[in-house]
Amino acid sequence: MVKVLKSLSEFEQVRAAEKASIGFVPTMGNLHAGHISLLAKGLQEFDTVYFSIFVNPKQFGPNEDFTQYPRTLEDDIKKIETCASLYPGKNVIVFAPQDPSEVFSVHKERNISIEGIKDILEGEIRPGHFDGVATVVYRLFELVRPQKAYFGLKDYQQYLVIKRMVKDLNLPVKIEGMPIIREESGLALSSRNQYLSPEEKLEGLTLSQSLSELAGMIQGQQSKLNLAKSAVQKMLQNKKWNYLEIRDAESLSTDTTHSKMIVILGVYQLRTTRLLDNLEVSLS
């Protein structure tokens, strides 16, 4: 069963009556198979999954158009219903507030800021973005009170920000990072892919192919990191890279001397479309 709630008052009424443990998937809508994979995992583990669709104004910068973000609620609900139909007897509660005041009415001035990893990589390019992400996720955790929440690992830095927030604030929710879902070509699924022409989609494979090439150079060996880092500098001669970096997978530190796991993160830009991807590599 799928139930759609658009107001905070009806959501709070339904949540107050909930007795079971619940999973939670927070999204901004415009759903694709990556989002739906999070829902499917939740339905495998819980009888009831709460699923939010909320375009959060706090994570949009001054040069990013909040009003232009695609809002496709009717189509999103169909995708959710199709997934839920595969899990008979399970419930999905969709919280889809249309007005930001429904979410932030009580805490308009609250700001959650996770120091250390919020101002690098994506945070350097989009100042304040991760404050907006942490603030809305904290508020949604406050409303939903889930036992577990699911986040896609394509937005790797976001995943680490949320994990750090939960740890720092001692929140009673387990965070699970879910594998990146890709098109058959290898391109990571993203709502942004809809803005690409077929030719740009082909060029966008530079991102995933470069990550794989670097991982192949490293071969899981700490001793080969410098070779890969030298290759990164050559790749960055292509100015379509916003960044391409090898970092510690837990801290995102550039010092990988003692890392047991590293992550290769990149953003490749085609016109105004920024494609994000990453690849984790275990080291021996």
Q: Catalytic residues, which ones?
A: 35
CB 46 within 8 A of CB 22: yes
Residue type, 274: R
Look at residues 216, 224, 191 and name the one whose alpha carbon lies nearest to residue 69. 191
Q: 117-154: string of b/e by CB count within 10 Å (b at 16+)?
A: bbbbbbbeebebbbbbbbbbbbbbbebbebebbbbbbb
Query: What is the 3-state secondary structure of 141-153?
Result: HHHHCCCEEEEEC
Strand 261-270 relative to strand 273-282, pairing: antiparallel
| 159 Cα distance to chain centroid | 6
